[in-house]
Structure 1
Amino acid sequence: MRSIYKTLTRRLSLAISVLVISVLIIADVAVDGWIENQFNKSMLEKVGMLETLVKEDAEGVEFDFAGEFMPEFEGTGDPEYFQLWRNSEIFEKSDTLSLVSENSLLFVDLPLDTFHLEDYTLPDGRTGRIAYIRFIPQIDSDKRADFYQQQGDTPRNTMTLAYAASTEELYYALWLIDGSFILALILVPLIIRFTVKNTVTYALNPLNELNTKISRLNFGSENLSLSLDRSVEELQPIVNSINRFIIENLRLYEQQKRLTSDIAHELKTPVTELTTLSEIAMRFPGDESLEASFKPEVLSIAHRMKSIITGILTIHGYSGKQLDCSTVVNVQALLTRIIRQQNTNRIVLIAEEGVAFEITSNLFALESAFTNLLANALQHSKPETTVKCRIEKHSHNALLVHFSNIPSDDYSEKDLNQFFEPLWQKDAARTSTENFGLGLTIVSVLIKAIGGNISVRLDGNVIYFSVQLPIGE
Structure 2
Amino acid sequence: EMSRGLGDVYKRQNKHFIFDGAKHYSEINLIINELNNFLAINRNSIENEKRITSDIAHEIKTPIAELITLTEVHQRFPDDERLAKTFTNDILQISNRMRVIVENLLLLQRTSSTIDLYKKPLDIVMLLDNIQQALTFKYPDITNRITINIQLESAIIADEFSIKTILTNLIDNALFYSLPTEHIKINVLSSQENTIIEVINMATVIYSAIEIEKLIQPLYQYDSSRSSDSRYGLGLSIVNNICKINQYPLSITQATTGNFTVTVSISK
**Could you tell me the TM-score, scaled by structure 1's length?**
0.49
Equivalent residues in 2 for 1:5-404 (5 A)?
199=14, 203=17, 232-339=25-132, 341-342=134-135, 343-352=142-151, 355-396=152-193, 398-404=194-200
Distance 1:302 1:451, change over 3 A: same
Which of these residues, 451, 454, 463, is aligned with residue 250 of structure 2?
A: 454
> In structure 2, the residue corresponding to 1:242 is in which secondary structure?
helix
> In structure 2, the residue corresponding to 1:416 is in which secondary structure?
helix
Distance 1:245 1:428, change over 3 A: farther
For residues 246-292 of structure 1, give each alpha carbon's deviation from its aligned partner in whole angstroms, at most 9, with x where no partner exists: 22222212211221221222223212212321321232134444233
Query: Number of residues paired by the alignment?
Result: 253
Contact 1:372 1:440 in 2 (8 A): yes
Distance between the aligned counterparts of 1:415 and 1:199, measured in 2?
54
In terms of Rg, which structure is larger?
A: 1
Of Structure 1 and Structure 2, which has the larger fraction of its residues in helix?
2
> In structure 2, the residue corresponding to 1:300 is in which secondary structure?
helix
Identity, % of aligned positions: 29
Contact 2:225 2:231 in 1 (8 A): no
Distance between the aligned counterparts of 2:119 and 2:260, measured in 1?
32
Which ranges of structure 1 fall in alignment gaps of 5 or more residues?
A: 1-190, 207-227
Question: Which of structures 1 and 2 has the larger relative contact order (alpha carbons within 8 angstroms, sep 6+)?
Answer: 2
Corresponding residue for 1:464? 261
Q: Aligned-pair distance for 1:313? A: 1.5
> In structure 2, the residue corresponding to 1:351 is in which secondary structure?
strand
Q: Aligned-pair distance for 1:367? A: 0.7
For the aligned residue pairs, the C-alpha RMSD in angstroms reads: 2.8
Contact 1:404 1:465 in 2 (8 A): yes
Distance 1:443 1:229, change over 3 A: farther
Q: Aligned-pair distance for 1:326? A: 2.5
Distance between the aligned counterparts of 1:457 and 1:344, measured in 2?
25
Amino acid at match of 1:390: N
Q: Aligned-pair distance for 1:395? A: 2.6
Distance between the aligned counterparts of 1:316 and 1:339, measured in 2?
25
Q: Aligned-pair distance for 1:437? A: 0.8
Distance between the aligned counterparts of 2:93 and 2:36, measured in 1?
47
Q: Aligned-pair distance for 1:322? A: 4.8
> In structure 1, the residue corresponding to 2:223 is in which secondary structure?
coil
Corresponding residue for 2:220? 424
Corresponding residue for 1:57? none
Distance 1:229 1:295, change over 3 A: farther
